[in-house]
């Protein structure tokens, strides 16, 4: 299992800053080294569809700068990240006809953090799924790109 996937040690306990960023899956998405289906991007944040979603439209919002989790995230960066979360959550709710939205940020292994780059999950919910967060959704071919195009049209700031 890759080191970034799961460990009880934080990344800063394992790597120096340059190695950490070079091996961070989300930093590699920001840098275009790993493909993603982007919904929204500005100077400081990026929103993209989760490749292991709980529900259709499950999205991750990250600060582009590497910060391990909420503890080291500067307040301004956190505020801007949450503005993107709100903006994307509204678009997902409206465009996917969600009955509700979960906003989740896991911090450290005990809380379920698997990737050591601060990120917020936006999980569209319906009354039929009863709010069960442990389920997984499987996209059919082209569905992620279809959702992205649908959402992108409403995400103009």
Q: Residue 133 sits in which domain range?
A: 11-152
Q: 26 lies in a domain?
A: yes
Q: How many CB atoms lie within 10 A of CB 102?
A: 16
Q: What is the pLDDT of residues 121-145, one digit of tens each?
A: 999 999 988 666 667 889 999 999 9
Q: 157 lies in a domain?
A: no
The DSSP bridge pattern shows strands 100-104 and 120-125 to be antiparallel
pLDDT score recorded for residue 5: 44
Question: CA of 121: how far to CAs of 17, 27, 43, 55, in Å?
Answer: 25, 17, 20, 11
pLDDT score recorded for residue 142: 93
Q: Rounded to 5 degrees, what are φ and ψ at 8?
A: -90, -10
pTM for this one? 0.85
Q: 6 lies in a domain?
A: no
Nearest Cα residue to 121 out of 76, 82, 73 = 82
pLDDT score recorded for residue 18: 64
CATH number at residue 43: 3.30.428.10
**Catalytic residue positions, numbered:** 119
Q: What is the pLDDT of residues 39-82, one digit of tens each?
A: 999 999 999 999 999 999 999 999 999 999 999 999 999 999 99
Q: How confident is the model at residue 155 (pLDDT cuts 50, 70, 90)?
A: confident
Q: How confident is the model at residue 117 (pLDDT cuts 50, 70, 90)?
A: very high
Q: 2 lies in a domain?
A: no
Residues 6 or more apart whose CB falls under 8 angstroms from that of 33 comprise none
**What is the mean predicted confidence (pLDDT) over 145-149?**
93
pLDDT score recorded for residue 157: 54
Tell me which of 110 and 132 has the higher pLDDT.
Answer: 110
* 117, 22 contact by CB (below 8 A): no
Q: 65 lies in a domain?
A: yes
How many independent structural domains does the chain possess? 1
Percent with pLDDT over 90 in the chain:
73
pLDDT score recorded for residue 2: 41
Nearest Cα residue to 126 out of 148, 149, 147, 102 = 102
């Amino acid at each position: 299992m890759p080191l970034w996937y799961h460990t009880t040690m934080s990344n800063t306990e394992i790597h120096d800053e340059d190695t950490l960023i070079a091996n961070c899956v989300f930093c590699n998405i920001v840098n275009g080294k790993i493909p993603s289906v982007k919904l929204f991007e500005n100077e400081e944040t990026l929103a993209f569809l989760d490749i292991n979603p709980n529900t259709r439209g499950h999205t991750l919002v990250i600060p582009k700068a590497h910060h391990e989790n909420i503890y080291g995230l500067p307040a301004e960066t956190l505020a801007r990240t949450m503005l993107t979360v709100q903006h994307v959550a509204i678009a997902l709710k409206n465009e996917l006809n969600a009955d509700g939205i979960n906003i989740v940020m896991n911090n450290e292994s005990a809380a379920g953090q698997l990737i050591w780059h601060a990120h917020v999950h936006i999980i569209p919910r319906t009354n039929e799924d009863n709010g069960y967060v442990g389920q997984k959704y499987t996209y059919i071919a082209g569905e992620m790109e279809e959702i992205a195009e649908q959402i992108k049209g409403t995400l103009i700031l």
